[in-house]
Amino acid sequence: MSIPITIPVTARPTITANIFAGPYNTTTANRYDFTADASSPQTVLTMVQNTVYLIERACFSLDVPEGDFQRAIDSAISVPRIYFRTTKTNQLIFPRPQPFINYVDNLELMKFVPCDQKDDQLQVSFECILFQTPALVGITSLNAYLQLNIYEIQATDWVKYWNSPKNAQGKDLNLRGY
Amino acid sequence: MPTQEGITNWLVSADGITFTVDTALDEVAIALAGTPDLELNGATKYINEGENCIVEGFALTFPYQFGQGTLSPLRFQIGWRDSGGNNGAVTELGDTGRINIPDPNYWYDTFTYVPYPATAAAKWHFEITGIIGRVSMFNCPAGLDEEELDIRAHLKIRTTTGLIA
């Protein structure tokens, strides 16, 4: 299912890529641990002031077969999850971390992220600790891949309405088209 | 199966599995002294605490041209032991670690996943905990009479990280 929403035709699509490494037996004994990446978030993109970004889709996978990844999840410790935040406000973009218990291709997110500060950055961190299952014996490090489709919306009127919808008392607020 | 980057080690027993040549007999029994470690480079090498491994194969080699006697097949038992002295059978292999060997001097593949034993509490290694079999004296040179000779047990294991001392 997709959510019908229209953004300006001038919105610029950006595809981002982040790779997280989970070495074996390094951060945590006998586990693949991505914690080092979680404690030092990666930059997804540097945002432009007075611009609204739409995180539209996400793709997620590891460099091992999906079943091997799922069998390696230790739900008693943590479900693999991703956090988005901006550096200036240091607030989570989504109210809760995004859990990933399988590989996803074109997962629809549809989250608007306004940027009203200079030199702000969208950052992502990945928390994940995995068991070593039979299929993973011999693999010294796992990589997780996150790809996002993000639209950068700089259309002046659209962004103005986004930032101050009350100015138009609602009736002129038109986020469905421009 | 993803690309494997791990480390394969060939382990071998140094001594403890012997037989004494007796040309007056048709065959002699194999004797086991203690629980010989499976060593690498002349010393016991351990798998990291908590780490799992895959046993890729095993073999039993007789010296010279000796072959097995009439009690067939050969059988040995593999166990584990940690550096703190905890030990037990490797239940993932054969019947609680007991494996029949159809023919000595031949390599057998197993590719068996052996997880870190539940009751282990430290770095761990493999050892031979039992062996049964006979060695044929057929065509044995008289010059070897009464010699005590070693039989070697071999195990090939794959780990993710290297073995430690």
Determine the Cα angle at A86 with ends A158 and A22, to 5°.
Answer: 130
Interchain contact, B5 vs A140, CB within 8 Å: yes
- Provide DSSP, B115-155: PPPTT--S-EEEEEEEEE-EEE-TT--GGGTT-EEE-EEEE
B138 lies within 8 A of chain A by CB? no
Q: Are B76 and B101 contacting, i.e. CB atoms less than 8 angstroms apart? A: yes
Query: B32: which 2 tokens?
Result: 């086991």
Least CB-CB distance to B4: which of A63, A132, A138? A138
Whether the predicted pLDDT of B165 surpasses 50: yes
* pLDDT for residue A38: 61
Quote the pTM value: 0.81
Interchain contact, A137 vs B2, CB within 8 Å: no
Interchain contact, B2 vs A64, CB within 8 Å: yes
Average pLDDT over residues B135-163: 92
* pLDDT for residue A5: 66
Distance CA A89, CA A66 (A): 35
Strand order in the sheet with A81-86: A42-46, A121-127, A81-86, A98-99
In CATH terms, the fold of domain A12-166 is Jelly Rolls (2.60.120)
Residue from B52, B114, B157 whose CB has the most chain A CBs within 10 Å, to mutate = B52
Residue from B52, B160, B163 whose CB has the most chain A CBs within 10 Å, to mutate = B160
Task: Show residues of chain B in contact with A137, CB under 8 Å.
Answer: 4, 6, 52-54, 113, 158-160
B113 lies within 8 A of chain A by CB? yes
**Bridge-partner residues for B89, per DSSP?**
B79
Task: Show residues of chain A in contact with B50, CB under 8 Å.
Answer: 29-30
The ipTM is: 0.78
Which residues does A contribute to its contact with B (CB < 8 Å)? 24-25, 29-30, 63-65, 68, 132, 134-140
Q: What is the pLDDT along chain A (178 residues), one digit of tens a residue?
A: 556 667 888 889 999 999 999 999 888 888 999 887 666 789 999 999 888 999 999 999 999 999 999 999 987 877 899 989 999 888 888 888 889 999 999 998 888 888 888 889 999 999 899 999 999 999 999 999 999 999 998 877 777 777 666 544 445 445 544 4
Task: Show residues of chain A in contact with B158, CB under 8 Å.
Answer: 137-138
